[in-house]
Every structure is written in structure tokens, then in C-alpha cells.
Amino acid sequence: MRDTLYLALRYLAFHRVKTAILVAAITLIVFLPVGLRVIVNQSSQQLTARAEATPLVIGAKGSPTELTLNTLYFSSDVPARTTHAAAAEVTETGLAHAIPMYVRFRVRDRPIVGTTLEYFEFRGLRIVEGRQLAILGEAVLGSRAAKRLGVGPGDYVISSPESVFDIAGVYPLRMPVVGVLEFSDSADDDAVFVDVKTAWVIEGLGHGHQDLSRPEAAAGVLRREGNVVVGNASVMQFNEITPDNIDSFHFHGELSDFPLTAVIAVPPDQRSSALLQGRYQSAGLSQIVNPTEVMDELLDTILTVEKFVIAGAVTVGLATLATTFLVFALSLRLRSRERETLFKIGGSRTAVATVMTSEIVVVLAAGVLLALCLTFLTQRYGDVIIRALIR
Amino acid sequence: MIRIEDLRFRYGEGDFQLRIPELAVESGTTTAFIGPSGSGKTTLLNLIAGIIRPEKGRVETRGVEVSGLSDEERRRFRITTVGLVFQEFELLEYLTVLDNILLPYRIHSALTLDSSVRERARSLAERVGISDKLDRHPRRLSQGERQRVAVCRAVLTDPPLLLTDEPTGNLDPVNRERVLDILFDYVEDSGTTLVSVTHDHEILTRFGRVMDFRDFHAFGEAGSGAAGGAS
């Protein structure tokens, strides 16, 4: 057996291109449906688990899927904005705790999540390095975000401009990293958390600049009209909030009008949840969604698509398998002279058959093994793939 | 060594029929079969080796009636008793020279491949001047080198009977002499019986006995064997 296997391996090694193509074909035949199944299972588990841990999400009317994906996974598709008043309304009902969410900006490809300290408690997120957010302008990073950005407590992160061509847009804000969260194997690991007010500063709704009432800032005064001082372009705006300049930071406008992408509502019981959902059933500018229901709908769509994809993969797989066997059959036919030589020399029928069979078995085994490796990798890194797809 | 009695063979329903009433080849002798193409020389070689079975008659080699053996028994007989050298060398393109020489040991359980066999293969390769090409594949060898590999493969099992079909058919004069030297040196050293089919009349003088299939008469060692016939 060892000798016949050796001959089979020599043949496959000599015809390495043909062997590689056959192995790749077998790998794809096995991996496509299995890998897809694994990805779908994982995504279904992930989507369901996080959705089930998030009771209700309130946002502006629009796509419930977009609202849910942005709130749960911080996806880059920003839903229609609601206002901070929506969070206040929830709190006023007394039916749920309201956690404001503003997920619009990024630090490179990592989402900046503007929220309150209640979010960390709600998700059970713990600081493993440094400390929790304390003052305006600070940032706490998820474990993966800290690793990818290569920063930790004492370092800084800078918000990315939304468009380099938007010269009237918001300026990047330099934020000190004060803490890193424990790994939670969720979307939180990829996020840069800031206070919701810091997110508004990034938006440009709040800012800090030189105090124009001070004599040294006189050069920056364009005109004074009573209590109103109008500055010129030379007035320096701060792009970092420090203990020295924090007092100069202020917000223009009503806090209740400031934007949020969503409000996570955490009712204490089922009754409160039902009552709260009832309040939002009537026509209005806001919508309330149950993330579990949204994800179930999304999964139904994914499962339907998966069925089509698997059906396609199986069809292509069968065709490839048939072609593979045709290649083997033709190869055996072309090698009839070689078989004859082996028989003439005195090769036993068993040995010659074993050589030829071993070649097929080795190719099939290599293909299946490679497919299993790919499946293992998919299982191991499936969550990364899913997160990348959602992002 | 080889005894043939009342042999008849026909390929299917074709016109060709080989008929040999009686033939004997003694051990340790060298015999050449000559004759025109289609006269049955290679067919007789195949019958002696047990590659094909006669329609009628007996083929006995070293006391074994080859024609009476089963298919698997004849394979075992060949791998242990017969060394074969083919006109087209019949080397496997995907094996190196060394692996081609060792091939008989990998295709039948009657032979066991061990270090002594490998050593013997290397020694044979050195003897025929291809020891520096053991890692090469056949397509990177000259015709003469390929034939030498085929000879090494045939004699590696130390067979008592060596059957060669046009062993010099594709070779230039220099390589022809070289291959013949190798074959005849081996036969002389080992006492092996050599039966060779050839069209090359220039090499006939090296054989102890020549059988001409054309006129159905053996010549060379007059009266030493019976005539063969082809029709």
C-alpha cells in the first residue's frame, strides 16, 4: 500500500497543475455550501444574540433595519436623525430608561459612539485599562479598536472628517484615550466611545475658542453690538478639549434639538415594554422597533437568499464533480499504455488498481481537507467577516 | 529452460496465426529471434513471458507451465522470473530514473523494496553510466540513457530469464554497442538466459543462437533447437 501510494503521489506531484485544479474544484464543491451554512449560522446567532439583548430602539421614521444595524452594530449607514428630545420623552413616560446614541462619526474605520455611561452598564462593558469617561472630550476604546488603532490610555485619537472636500464641514477633534474596554466579542470591541456631548462637539454644535472678552483677544474682534461680540476668522478654535480650555466650550441652540441616531429604551418589564410600544404606534415623527423582530425579518431574507445560493452552489458543484470525474476517466484512458506496461512487467491487478484509485482518493481527500480547513477558518473568523459585512 | 510444444496462437479472428510445433531454449544461452515484421517474434516473446496465453499447446519456463497459470499467477511469475526490455523503453514519465528502476518492487507484493534493493539499483545505474541522472525524469534523458534505465529495471530483480524486444532498435551505433555490452556482460556474469527479438542483423554475431521466423528454421547452433513457424 505504501508503494502504490508513493506512485500515486509521484504522479500527482508530476502533474501538479492538473492536480491543483482538481483539488481546488473539490475544495469549492465541498466548501461553498458548508462554508455558507457556517456563515449564515454564525450571523444568525450573532444578530439574534445582540438583538435579544437590546429591548427597544427608538429613532426617526425610516428604515427599521438601518436604525437597528446602526444602533446595534454601528454600521456606517446613518439613519435619519431624531433629537435628544426623544430620549427625554422616553424618560418622562417612566416606562423605560433611555440611552441616547449618536453614531455618525469615525476614527479612521472605527465608529465613534456618542452615548452616556448608562450604555456601558447596560451592555455590561468593563474597563480593563485606564478609567471610564469623566469629562468632555475623552474617549474609551473597545479592545479591538485599541489594538487596530494602536493606542491605549495616554494616547490620542482624532475624529476623521466626513469629506476632505467639505471645507465648511466639522473640524477633526483630538481626543485623549482614557480607557480600554474588556473584550466582549461584540460590535462594542470595534468602537470608540465618547460622551454624546463630545459627539456633538465633533458635529460642530458645541465648540471652544479664545475668550473674546479678554484684552489679548482684541485682534479677533470684528465688531461689538451691545452684548454681542462678533469675531473674525483669526479667532482660534480649539480642536482638543483640555482642562485649560474646557470652560470655553459651549453649545449653541437647544439641547433638546441636538441630534441622535437612536435611543435605546430599556423597560423594566414586559408590561412597560408593551405600553411604550403602544405609545409609538400612532402617527408621529418617531418609530419604535423591536430589534429581535427586525433581525428575524433580516434573517428570513438571508435564509431565503442562502437557499438560492446553496441550490446554485450544489448545481455548480455537481457539474464540477462530473467534470472532475470526466477528467479522471479521460486520464485513465490516456494512461492505458502505462497500465499495460505495469501489467507486462508483472504488476498485480490489485497494485495497479490501487495506484489509480489512490490518485483519486488523494485528490478527493486533499480537496475535502482543504475545504475543512477553510470551514474551520470561516468558523474561527466568521464573526470578523460578518462584522466587516455589516460595517 | 524454455520448452514449447505444439503452440498455436491467433489474435482474435485475424488471419495471423503463430504455430510452433516445438522449441527449446537452454538455460544460460543467448538467443535472437529475427524475421520480418508481423512474423510473430514479439508474440512469441509475450507467450514465453505469459503476457498472453496460447490458443493451444504448452509454454514451459523453468519447469513451470506458464500457459496453464491463472492471470494473477502469470503476473507473479513475470515479476519474479522474467526481466523485460521493451523497444519503446516504456518508462513512466512521472517517475525519476531511480524510481523507474525500482518500479517492479512497487507493483507486486511478491517483491519487497528495502535498502539492499535500493543499493543494488544504484550500483546497476553506476555500472551502466547513469548514476548521475538518478533524480532526473525520463524526458530529460537521451534515447541511449533511457534504454539503459529500461535494462536496469529489467535486471534489478535478478531474473533467470531476460526477454528483450528490439533492445537496440532506437539507438545510434555507439549507444547500440553500449547497451549490448551491458546486456551481454550481465548475462555472462549472472548466467541469465537471454532471448531477444531484433531486426538488427549487425548484432546477431553476439548471440549464441539465432532463430529466423522467415523460413521457419533455426540457424546458428545447427540442430540445437526445433524450428518455429509463422503463418
Q: Residue A5 has what pLDDT? A: 92
Above 80 in pLDDT, residue A218? no
Which residue type sits at B153? R
Above 70 in pLDDT, residue A390? no
| CATH number for position B83 | 3.40.50.300
- Whether B79 sits inside 8 A of A352 (CB atoms) is no
Contact of B70 with chain A, judged by CB distance below 8 Å, is answered with no
Q: Residue B228 has what pLDDT? A: 41
**CA of A322, closest CA in chain B: separation in Å?**
26
Task: Please list every residue in chain B whose beta carbon sits closer than 8 Å to the beta carbon of residue A337.
Answer: 90
Mean pLDDT, to the nearest integer, of A57-86?
Answer: 91
pLDDT tens-digit series, residues A80-92: 999 999 899 889 9
Question: What's the total number of domains in chain B?
Answer: 1
What's the rounded Cα separation, in Å, for the pair A296 and A292? 6
- Whether B108 sits inside 8 A of A338 (CB atoms) is no
Mutate to test the interface with A, among B51, B79, B94, B102 (most CBs of A within 10 A): B94
Going by C-beta distance under 8 Å and a sequence separation of 6 or more, which residues neighbour residue B195? B2, B25, B30, B31, B33, B45, B48, B161, B162, B163, B164
Q: Residue B201 has what pLDDT? A: 87
- Whether A344 sits inside 8 A of B108 (CB atoms) is no
- Whether B106 sits inside 8 A of A4 (CB atoms) is yes
Could you write out the three-class secondary structure of B89-115? CCCCCCCCHHHHHHHHHHCCCCCCCCH
Contact of B112 with chain A, judged by CB distance below 8 Å, is answered with no
Q: Residue A306 has what pLDDT? A: 81
- Other CB atoms within a 10 A radius of the CB of residue B177 amount to 15
Are B31 and B209 in contact by the 8 Å Cβ rule? The answer is yes
Q: Tell me which residue has cell 480600554.
A: A180
Q: Residue A375 has what pLDDT? A: 92
Task: Please list every residue in chain A whose beta carbon sits closer than 8 Å to the beta carbon of residue B78.
Answer: 344-346
Mean pLDDT, to the nearest integer, of A68-89?
Answer: 90
Q: What strands, in cross-sheet order, belong to the sheet with B217-219?
A: B82-85, B161-165, B193-197, B30-34, B209-212, B217-219
- Nearest CB among B82, B94, B107 relative to A348 is that of B107
* Sites in chain B below the pLDDT cut of 70: 215-231
Q: Residue B155 has what pLDDT? A: 93
Contact of A17 with chain B, judged by CB distance below 8 Å, is answered with no
Q: Residue B229 has what pLDDT? A: 37
Tally the C-alpha atoms within 13 A of residue A260's C-alpha that lie toward its C-beta: 28
A13: nearest CA partner in chain B: B94
- Whether B95 sits inside 8 A of A7 (CB atoms) is yes
pLDDT tens-digit series, residues A285-315: 789 999 999 988 888 888 888 888 888 888 8
pLDDT tens-digit series, residues A246-267: 777 778 888 889 999 999 999 9
pLDDT tens-digit series, residues A5-59: 999 999 999 999 999 999 998 998 889 888 888 888 887 887 788 899 999 999 9
Range of the domain at B115: 2-230
Q: Residue A192 has what pLDDT? A: 96
Contact of B116 with chain A, judged by CB distance below 8 Å, is answered with no
Above 60 in pLDDT, residue A367? yes
List the grid coordinates of B131: 548514476
- Whether B107 sits inside 8 A of A346 (CB atoms) is yes
Task: Please list every residue in chain A whose beta carbon sits closer than 8 Å to the beta carbon of residue B108.
Answer: 346-348, 351
pLDDT tens-digit series, residues A120-171: 999 999 999 999 999 888 999 999 999 999 999 999 999 987 766 666 666 7
pLDDT tens-digit series, residues A324-359: 888 888 888 888 889 999 999 998 888 888 988 899
B74: nearest CA partner in chain A: A346
A338: nearest CA partner in chain B: B92
Q: Residue A325 has what pLDDT? A: 85
B106: nearest CA partner in chain A: A3
ipTM for the whole complex: 0.86
Q: Residue A112: enclosing H or E segment and its boundaries?
A: strand A110-115
pLDDT tens-digit series, residues B78-117: 999 999 998 888 999 999 999 999 999 999 888 889 999 9
**CA of B145, closest CA in chain A: separation in Å?**
19
Contact of B90 with chain A, judged by CB distance below 8 Å, is answered with yes
Contact of A5 with chain B, judged by CB distance below 8 Å, is answered with no
- Whether B75 sits inside 8 A of A4 (CB atoms) is no
- Nearest CB among A11, A13, A345 relative to B103 is that of A345
B101: nearest CA partner in chain A: A345
